[in-house]
Chains A and B, each alone.
Chain A
Amino acid sequence: MALLGLLAFSGCSGVAFGGWPSPTLAEGTVYVGSLQGKVFALDPAMRRERRFFPAEGEWVFPGEKKEKIGAIYGRLVVAGGLVYVATDERTRRAGKVYALDAASGALRWFFEVGGPFVGTPAVAGGKVFVGSSDGKLYALEASTLGKIWEYKTGGKIWSTPVVQGNVVYVGSLDHKLYALDVGTGKPVWEEPFEAGGAIASTPLVAGDVIYVGSFDSKFYALSAATGKPVWPEPFKAGNWFWTQALLDGDTLYVGSLDHKVYALDIKDGTPKWPQPFETGGMVKAAPVLASGTLVVVSGDGKVYGLDPQTGRAVWLPFDIGGPLWAQPFSDGQTVYLSAGDGLLYALSGQRGELLWSFPLAQ
């Protein structure tokens, strides 16, 4: 009996995980998933006025109270009047991509595979690209979610694909970064780039250089044309890189699971701040810029506002309490973030003040 108690205590009871759904803002509406397997479309003005949910134009999917979809680990993507949601249906060892009507939340299409989706779908040129834990990158018709091609990698794909021109770049837990032709799914590089650890972070493509971090604790700059390293040496942190970097001017801002945020020179990866900014927890999400402030969320449950030039705090951290793994979204002034406590927060980038919050456990 004691052993049974310990088994339950250790969290291995078969209960589905909540994920880390990230909010997105499109055409004045905030789209966000909840830890309970629901998708919300919210009007920020209505939420600020604390109107009864759902106000006009707002919806929740699935509408039935007892129905839910799998865990959402990525961002919701809005394109062509549809909202794309990729889910982890772990109890069924499956992953599902939903295409919902952006105006009404009605289900239009879905696509299911035998491996959970952890990354965010990328939509470009009438196609949806999404990587699955079954190791495959799928290219789907954006309008119907019909499969166009698939490409098998040697590990799970938890990274979000990035499309630049005719090439889609995606990292895999097999330690490799792949560059594939968007039309055919054929490799573009002679060899995929191989890091010393798994690649779960989303590549950042800027011009002809790709910036990506790995579980070998290194952050790489690669030629987009060949996949060969550009910097003399990759930047080395104290733990894994899981997040995408943020590029502003000639500075890359990137967080690491060593609890720190780094500012790196885009030319050679040398640190720009006298010392990295240290938080109290793992930095799993990319920083965002709002009102000139670099906003960083951390696993310690705090939101930090930093001066991008110096890396010093410009306001007192906003303490949410629950761990912050989900990628925040900035509209330039306001930062939207969903937290482990099940709430969606809207904070002012200038002062780190709470503008409004909304419980996603409806």
Chain B
Amino acid sequence: MGGIVDIWNIALLQPLVNFLVILSEVFFDNFGLAIIVLTILVNLVLLPLTLKQMKASKAMAALQPKLKQLQKKYPGDRQRLSQETMKLYKEQGVSPMGCVLPLLLQFPIWIALYQSIIKTLAVAPEELLDLSQRLYSLPMIHQAIPLGSRFLWLDLGYPDKFYILPILVGASMWVQQKMTPMPGMEDRRASMMQWMFPAMFMFLTITFPSGLALFWIASSLLRIGMQYFVTGWGGLLRPAGEVVKAKPAPKEEAATTKEGITPLERGIKSEERGDKRKDRRRGHRPRRK
């Protein structure tokens, strides 16, 4: 366990802490600007992963009607449903892991970034002692300590006493959640998630240092921009319950054929034809839907 903690500290946390201090020094001893710039830079580094995850989520969302069709078709046969679902994924070049894996890979970076902000803020004397052991031996870094904690109307080491930040955190997270497709989730659950997370972070912001809230707002705004780039306004402008429709375009998603149907639709149709043939052989009539 100690080894993992050491690796975490040396490989992730310490570089981020020192980089934050340098950024603060470069940006006019303004730690608020340093937090925003670092959030942008980390997002840029993670952009390929983020876009991959967003595109995968979008493709998964577009696949939902077909998945529902399969569920209706094989109500009691879990094994067959699973086989057909995997077949569908394969045909469409979509993988549920495509949504989750990039997110999992980004998760440690986000946690390290969050921790680095807390460590660098060092409001209490104990925290400043701890910070002294994490800094590289560069005079520029040590000169910058303690960092200027003033930003706009905020003292970044304390919660916002005017409660403006909690509202901004809640609003930006709600917009981000609303724009994000939630494939495979019931409408009711998806709707609950869209409210629950922003509300939770809004309450956290009331008690947490505003430096963290600034990081959350900057992250949410950047993700809103990226999400818009991938899916447009998505669920933000769509009434609740409406199904996500795939935009024609990316080749791996849903290129249309001569007949004007997507490979996805073709796959389902050919499956249906195959099933009808099988049913006829077995002497069954296909059920009307």
Contacts and interface: CB of A to CB of B under 8 A. Distances in A.
B142 interface: yes
A197 B142 contact: yes
Contact of A14 (B114, B118, B142, B208): B208
Interface residues of B, number: 26
Main secondary structure of the interface of A (DSSP, over half): loop
A11 B143 CA distance: 26
Nearest to A282: B129
Contacts of A4: 200, 204
Contact of A156 (B133, B139, B146): B146
A293 B123 CA distance: 36
Interface residues of A, number: 37
A284 B125 CA distance: 11
9 contacts: A12-B212, A20-B125, A93-B155, A156-B146, A173-B146, A196-B143, A197-B143, A216-B143, A239-B132
A216 B139 contact: yes
B142 A90 contact: no
A299 B125 CA distance: 14
A325 B129 contact: yes
B147 to A, nearest CB: 10
A7 interface: yes
B142 A217 contact: yes
Interface of A: 3-4, 6-7, 10-14, 17, 19-20, 73, 90, 93, 118, 155-156, 158, 173, 175, 196-198, 200, 215-217, 238-240, 242, 257, 282, 284, 299, 325
B269 to A, nearest CB: 41
A257 B132 contact: yes
A108 B185 CA distance: 64
B145 A215 contact: yes
A14 B115 CA distance: 15
Contacts of A6: 111, 114
Contacts of B123: 90
A7 B115 CA distance: 9
Main secondary structure of the interface of B (DSSP, over half): helix
A289 B111 CA distance: 45
A158 B143 CA distance: 17
Interface string B227-262: 000000000000000000000000000000000000
Contacts of B118: 10-12
Contacts of A284: 129
Interface string B105-116: 000000100110
Contacts of B114: 6-7, 10
Contacts of A118: 125
Given A10-B115, A215-B142, A240 B125 contact: no
Contacts of B115: 10
Given A4-B200, A215-B145, A282-B132, A17 B209 contact: no
B207 interface: yes
Contact of A158 (B125, B139, B212): B125
B158 interface: yes
B142 A240 contact: yes
Contact of B126 (A17, A155, A156, A200): A17
B124 interface: yes
A175 B146 CA distance: 10
A341 to B, nearest CB: 15
Contacts of A155: 146
A12 B132 CA distance: 19
Contacts of B124: 17, 90
A90 B146 CA distance: 17
Nearest to B130: A282
A147 to B, nearest CB: 23
Given A196-B139, A198-B146, A216-B143, A12 B209 contact: yes
